[in-house]
Chain A
Amino acid sequence: MLKAVLTRFFQLMPVWFGLGFIAPLTAQILQHTGLVPPMGLSPLMVGLALGVSWGGLTVVRGRWI
């Protein structure tokens, strides 16, 4: 049971990584560089969109790039 849960958790790791790391990293890079996101989006919203979509695509395609 625990093994199955952990396997599923690690299969979805790119999503967790996107959410947990890429999202805040993107937001903080945008803030540091002074880049303003379009359409009134906040840096964190851009980070979350990028992190979750990149992570999700990675799970589907099996590759980060």
Chain B
Amino acid sequence: MNVMTAGDLKATDLSALDNKALMKLEAEIAQRFMGGVPWGSVAWSLTNLAVWLSLWPLTILGIVPIWVAFPIACLNVMLSYLPSHEAQHDIIARPGEPLRWLNQLIGTVSTIPLVGPYRVLKMTHMEHHKHCNHPELDPDIHNKAESAWDFLRQSLSRRFRLGGGGDAGYAAAIERIGGPEAGLAQRDALILQLSYLAILFISAWNGHAIEAALLWWLPRHVAQTYIGFYLSWAPHHPSIETGRYKDTRAFKSAIGNIGSMGMQFHIIHHLYPRIPLMRTPAAYWALRPILEARGCDLERL
């Protein structure tokens, strides 16, 4: 039955294929976008961290004014999550592969500016994939909102409430997962959180409170809002349906694909999590006819 290739997709009536053949064709096309080390993400992670770290001495020594450093720091913290996300899916190297150490290194150091413990992020992200849009089991469900403005309102409101941030959902998920790995995740979260606060307090009491506020504390809040919006709310909106072809959508971002950090094509990530971020646009265009045939929400993209 399945004799067509990806190149034939546009010209062929996919409705002639049964479910099994369509699934096989989809997997064959997706497979072409997997494999290899995403060196772009590795360079992104290390460069981003180096730039953010360099802002501290540069501002404290008065070489770079804080008003110049602040937007750069915001960008750095916003950019810090996605390379770690590649590592969470073992895209850089799988267990047992020679570059596994690099996968774990990128996963761990990338999100230091975001104060995101790798083990927690990985465990909760796997739960998100497993239970996407589930009202109780998806750790990211707190980002569900009726509109972009509603997301912003809820995001800020949660932040003002004690224990009401996204961390609460993640902590509950870790507790639910349980086991030794969950215990290590809780330990990592505690160490990272206490280190973050210690650095803020020590910087502040040594005369660098404004630098600490504008290089870390406020950029982290800006980044948490941005990441929650583009990596969670926008691709899963309206976060009602569950299921392989229904829990994520393609969407047209007002600030383009780079501005939304590739999240316009997040549907590809949920279907094939091992496709590197930078290849998801090409994979989307190759798979689009199948996604359309599957009834996915592809909006105007």
Q: Which residues of B contact A8 (CB under 8 A)?
A: none
Instruction: Judge whether A37 is part of the interface by a CB distance below 8 angstroms.
Output: no
Complex Cα distance A14/B197, Å? 11
Q: Contacting chain A: which of B108-116, B210-218, B244-252?
A: B210-218
Q: Is B207 an interface residue (CB 8 A)?
A: yes
**Shortest beta-carbon distance, B186 to chain A, in Å?**
10
Taking the complex as formed, is A35 at the interface, i.e. its CB lies under 8 A from any CB of chain B? no
- Counting residue pairs across A and B whose Cβ atoms lie within 8 Å, the total is 47
Cβ distance A17 to chain B, nearest Cβ, rounded Å = 7
Question: What mask results when residues 132 to 148 of chain B are scored 1 for a CB within 8 Å of chain A, else 0?
Answer: 00000000000000000
A62 in the interface, Cβ–Cβ < 8 Å? yes
Residues from chain B with a CB closer than 8 A to the CB of A27 are 209
Q: Is the CB of B209 within 8 A of A28?
A: yes
Chain A contact-residue range equals: 10 to 19
What is the predominant secondary structure among interface residues of chain A facing chain B? helix
In B194-253, the 8 Å CB interface with A consists of: 197, 200-201, 204-205, 207, 209-210, 212-213, 217
The interface centre, meaning the residue of A24, A25, A28, A63 with most chain B CB atoms within 10 A of its CB, is A24
Partner among B160, B162, B204 whose Cβ is within 8 Å of the Cβ of A24: B204
Interface residues of A (CB under 8 A from B): 6, 14, 16-17, 20-21, 23-25, 27-29, 32, 58-59, 62-65
Q: Chain B: residues with CB nearer than 8 A to chain A?
A: 159-162, 190, 197, 200-201, 204-205, 207, 209-210, 212-213, 217
In the A-B complex, list the 6 residue pairs whose CB atoms are closest, starting with the nearest. Answer: A20-B201, A25-B209, A24-B204, A24-B209, A65-B160, A64-B160
